Amino acid sequence: MTLELILQNLPWEGDFDYEAECILRLFFPGEKIAVLHQPQTPQGDWVSAVLTGQGEGIAIELSVQIGGQTQKARDLVLPSEIVVGGMEWEAERRLCLLLYEALCRMTGIRPPWGILTGVRPVNFCRKLQRELGSIAAVRESLIRDYQVLPQKADLALSTLQAQESILATNTPESYSLYVGIPFCPTRCLYCSFVSHAIDRAGKLVPEYLELLCRELEEIAAIASRLGLHLRTVYIGGGTPTTLEPEQLAKLLGQMEKSFPLFQSSEYTVEAGRPDSITREKLQVLKDFGVSRISINPQALDDKVLQAIGRAHTAQETLDAMALAREMGFDNVNMDLIVGLPEQTPESFNRSLEQVLALGAENITIHTLTVKRSSDLRATFGSDAYDRGSYPLDALLAQSQEKLRQAGYRPYYLYRQQGSRQNQENTGFCLPGREGLYNIFSMEDAHTILAAGAGAVTKLCAPPDKVRRVFNYKYPYEYISGFEEILNRKRQITEFYKEGSP
Ligand code: SF4
């Protein structure tokens, strides 16, 4: 498909490619899209948008030809009509709206988040709130100016309100620590992370852990010199409980030695895969003061689990949760995914009811996302985006209602490109049991110092200054390029010396 964007006589060097392409992807996930900036003789499916300066305004001429259908639309953007931001922002919003509405008419699909294509709708709502003032004004603008469905606007705004009191505890010195363990028992069909199956990559673990401990020491020394204050710790990946008990003890021992863990109000370890959980490993987590764990069923249906390459049964999740409770873990997150292969609405509902019956303090409902690097995409090609499709909107709305009735409320929310039917991922929790790390990291509230392969340090000075420092992605690169990873840590100190924006 060709997306032709032509900008003429504009008072700025506009670049709307990314947003316009994201709108197209809402309707045609997985399609190849070529963006051009010169007029071409149209061939096949194409979209053409010409933006021309007209006095103080911007005229937009849109033509869409897809699957033999043609749509044409035009708009004139005037300075008096700016919703937020300047003319450039407004012209981009109006171009996206024009394209969105044309594609809705052509395809009969209405993506529920309208023209919001970013991963963090709550963050966007917070920006709108700063401009528009009240929550009611933000809601109205989301629905009218961004074509967000009312139920999605309400979900985002409830989430925003749930975060307020937690974000108010943040200080300029606050930071969280992320530690990545990129190993898993097997690789899930939909996985796009760097995680490696332990049977093939297990030989890397001892050296990986050695270097990880050195990286943690270095981060701790920098944080201490800068006078930073540790708020939360999150050990994820991957599946950290893929490590053997003594390897876990080595890692958590290093954490205890290097960091003032007493300062942090949350210490999470992802014990995501039930087939990686044993009494000995949970005992190590308890001994080192881990306060929150994740046990992620994704589905409590063996047929679905088998289809997505999880080498465990639903019963193993129930057993792992019973063991965790017996050992005193009283803050547990459980993830479920909607839209999985072989999953039916009934199967998803049964899984949700079982997770509710287990009384997990956090329940995160994800929508299956098809990533280019996943086995799901490799196996099914572009069909991966449609397989098992049934209307997810109603199913998610029902599940949110069930969660609300059981006393849960949404506390963090994000979206991913390629998620089935453009739905979202939402974390729900019982009162006072919000996963703090999730909020701080998703909302760029404070710096996340990160260690391990694939980890990304995110240096934040709210409201808007964010700089990322990347570690190498794969464990073998992490090992071979370790000195460079340590070098890059200098950027942390430089960032704090530069001061706030
Ligand atoms: S458990 Fe998570 S990180 Fe591991 S393979 Fe599955 S999706 Fe990937």
- pLDDT tens-digit readout, 223-262: 999 999 999 999 998 899 999 999 999 999 999 999 999 8
Edge-first strand order for the sheet with 465-470 is 409-415, 424-429, 362-367, 332-338, 292-294, 266-270, 229-237, 174-181, 447-451, 456-461, 465-470
Closest approach atom of ligand 1 to CA 310: 6
Contacts of 137 (CB under 8 A, 6+ apart): none
Q: Which of 183, 189, 273, 306 to mutate to test the pocket of ligand 1 (most atoms within 8 A of CB)?
A: 273
Q: What are the CA-CA distances from residue 99 to residues 43, 84, 88, 117, 494 (Å)?
A: 19, 20, 17, 13, 42
Strand blocks (E) in 227-305? 229-237, 266-270, 292-294
CATH of domain 292-330+332-432: 3.30.750.200
Per-residue pLDDT tens over the stretch 133-169: 999 999 999 999 999 999 999 999 999 999 999 999 9
**Cis amide bond preceding 499, omega within 30:** no
Beta-strand pair 465-470/266-270: unpaired
Determine the distance separating the centroid of ligand 1 and the alpha carbon of 393, expressed in angstroms: 25
List 269's β-bridge partners, or say none: 235, 293
Contacts of 77 (CB under 8 A, 6+ apart): 57, 58, 59, 60, 87, 90, 91, 94
* Domain 2-110 class, CATH top level: alpha beta
Check if 337 has its Cβ closer than 6 Å to any atom of ligand 1.
no
Determine the distance separating the centroid of ligand 1 and the alpha carbon of 191, expressed in angstroms: 5
Q: Which of 181, 183, 186, 188 to mutate to test the pocket of ligand 1 (most atoms within 8 A of CB)?
A: 188
Check if 473 has its Cβ closer than 6 Å to any atom of ligand 1.
no
Q: Does residue 10 register a pLDDT over 70?
A: no
Token pair 């409830």: residue: 158
Check if 193 has its Cβ closer than 6 Å to any atom of ligand 1.
yes
pTM exceeding the 0.85 threshold for the entire prediction: yes
What average pLDDT does this structure show over 437-450? Answer: 96
Determine the distance separating the centroid of ligand 1 and the alpha carbon of 493, expressed in angstroms: 33
pLDDT for 11? 64
Check if 187 has its Cβ closer than 6 Å to any atom of ligand 1.
yes
List 7's β-bridge partners, or say none: 51
Check if 272 has its Cβ closer than 6 Å to any atom of ligand 1.
yes
* Cβ atoms of residues 48 and 63 within 8 Å: yes
Q: Is 454 left (phi over 0), alpha (psi -120 to 50) or beta?
A: left
Parse the chain into domains and list their residue ranges: 2-110, 119-168, 175-266+436-501, 292-330+332-432
Q: What is the token pair recorded at 290?
A: 């881990």
Q: How far is CA 63 from the centre of its chain?
A: 33
